[in-house]
Structure 1
């Protein structure tokens, strides 16, 4: 029997696993298409991404954010995190499930847990963005009641045709 567990990443070993998953996520995004590789380098060049990953627990600290770790049969296979973008808005970031763990509903469980936590924390909406190239992610968000919307923060005009923005009202 396969056992999936979604839990807050708070221990040093949990955060180390999340950091490794975030680097895998960056590599995955860079491999999706040449456009996605360019977007990844534009938004997250290695020095900037390194600084971001090194400060995850500050950027997504409770009570206005959370870092979640997904395990499949005791092995880290996914992560997702949120933070307060605006006083009423939680933003989901770096939602990722490894290739070998896909098909177990882990991404859906991560999104559900992040949305539930945002609701508990008093936010009235959740936003996120994804690449146009990530069809399964787009389908997941739409199936979970997220509506497409325009950008919710400043995005370079050249990137806009390659990104989609979603929002869910809580």
Structure 2
């Protein structure tokens, strides 16, 4: 059975970190030119520091860290952070190969949207890689629409990304 929970314990955060590294490995396996996004956004040392600070970056008063478990096995994660008054950003949504097709991605997204509403956010933003068409279909099916970039991506990165927003 699929369960989505807030990551709250050290074991929860360890599972999220492991999933986030698996996510990075997946992105790094994309062929050129899409691998440039991983080199830019997921440099190992900086990514390790970021993952060490999940509890602060996505603290419950301004964000969330969600963990998906399928039959008590961690299979997915997603994060929310407030980036401006009224605006939140979804980060590092990932579902392991073992859980693809289980509804874990949609369930994580809905839990993150509920968390955003609970924080009083009025708009959610996210970006994803251009080749990740299944993720794009999921976001569109939930109501996200393509938008202009909401952060200044370098010229060699911006064409490799698709930006989305959802008005809450």
Q: Tell me if structure 1 keeps the 8 A contact 2:36–2:157.
A: no
TM-score (norm 2): 0.98
C-alpha deviations, 1:102-137, integer Å up to 9, x for none? 001100000001011101110000000000000100
TM-score (norm 1): 0.97
1:160 alignment counterpart: 158
Stretches of 4+ aligned residues off by more than 3 angstroms: none
Alpha-carbon offset, residue 157 of structure 1? 1.4
Higher alpha-carbon deviation: 33-42 or 98-107: 33-42
* Paired residues for 1:17-166 under 5 Å: 17-166=15-164
> Which blocks of at least 5 consecutive residues in structure 2 are unaligned?
none
Alpha-carbon offset, residue 154 of structure 1? 1.2
- The two structures, once aligned, show a CA RMSD in angstroms of 0.7
> Which blocks of at least 5 consecutive residues in structure 1 are unaligned?
none
Distance 2:20 2:95 in 1: 10
C-alpha deviations, 1:48-107, integer Å up to 9, x for none? 101101111110001110000000000000000000011110100000000111001100
